[in-house]
Amino acid sequence: MKVLVSPLDSLESFMFCVTRFSPNRTYLIFDKEEYEEKVENLEKVKETMSFINIKETVVESSDIVAAAKKIIEIIENEKNNEITVNITCSNNLQSFGMLYGCYAKYRYVDRIVYLKDTKEILDIPILSFGISKTKKEILMEITKGTTSVKELSNKLDISRGMVYNHIRDLREKGMIKKDELKVTTAGKLAILGDI
C-alpha cells in the first residue's frame, strides 16, 4: 500500500503529489493555528479524492519536537507500507518538524520530497541522527534530570572517561549545550529516533 504524508498548504501542490504518487492512503498535516482556514480545501479534497483514504493530523508547528512526534506516530503506524513524505509547506517550522520525524524513523520512509515552484519534485536525502545506543541513553538520562558525569556513569554502568567522551561528541553534534549538561532541541529529536 502506498501512503502519502503531506501538508495541505495549497490545493494545487497537494493534487500534484496525489497524481504523481498515487497513494491509497493520505495523511494531511495541518498546523493547529491554520486548521480552520484550511477546512474548505480539506472538503474539496475529500470530495475530489473519495477513492483515497484520507486522515487528518493537526500539529503544533511552533514546537518542532511535538510536530516530529506526530510524524513519527504516522510512520510507525504505516511502517509496513511504502511511505512518501512531502515536506512542501509555507511554514518552515512545520517542514522541519516533518523532516526530523522522517529522520527519526528513517528505516521506514521510502521517499522525502519537496515540490519546487516549477512543479519539479526534489528528493530530499533520507538521513539518521547517527548516535549509538549509549549516547541515546545519556541524552535520555539528562532529560530525566541527571546532572553529573558520576551519576551518568553509575546509572549506565560505564566509566566516567567514556561518559566524558560521549558528552564531548554529543556537544560537537549540538545535542548537548556547550556550557551545561542540558539536552538541546537536536538532542530531544535524536532521542525520538531509531538507532
For residue 187, what are the domain limits?
133-192
Q: What is the pLDDT of residue 8?
A: 87
Residues 6+ apart with CB under 8 A from 11: 41, 44, 45
| Count of structural domains, the chain | 2
Mean pLDDT for back-to-back runs of 10 residues, the chain (195 residues): 92 88 95 82 86 92 93 98 94 92 97 92 95 97 96 97 98 96 96 89
Residues 6+ apart with CB under 8 A from 144: none
Q: What is the pLDDT of residue 40?
A: 81
Q: Check which CATH number belongs to the domain holding 26 and give it.
A: 3.40.50.10770
> Alpha helix locations (H) across the chain?
11-21, 35-48, 64-77, 92-104, 133-143, 149-156, 160-172, 185-192
Q: Check which CATH number belongs to the domain holding 147 and give it.
A: 1.10.10.10
pTM above 0.85, yes or no: yes
Residue 42's nearest CA partner among 30, 60, 59, 25 is 30
Q: What is the pLDDT of residue 72?
A: 98
User: Which of 124, 157, 172 is where one domain is finished?
Assistant: 124
Question: Rounded to an integer, what distance in angstroms lies between the CA atom of residue 26 and that of residue 42?
Answer: 12
Phi first, then psi, for residue 128 (nearest 5°) are -125, 170
Q: Go through the chain and tell me how many residues it has.
A: 195
Same structural domain, 23 and 79:
yes
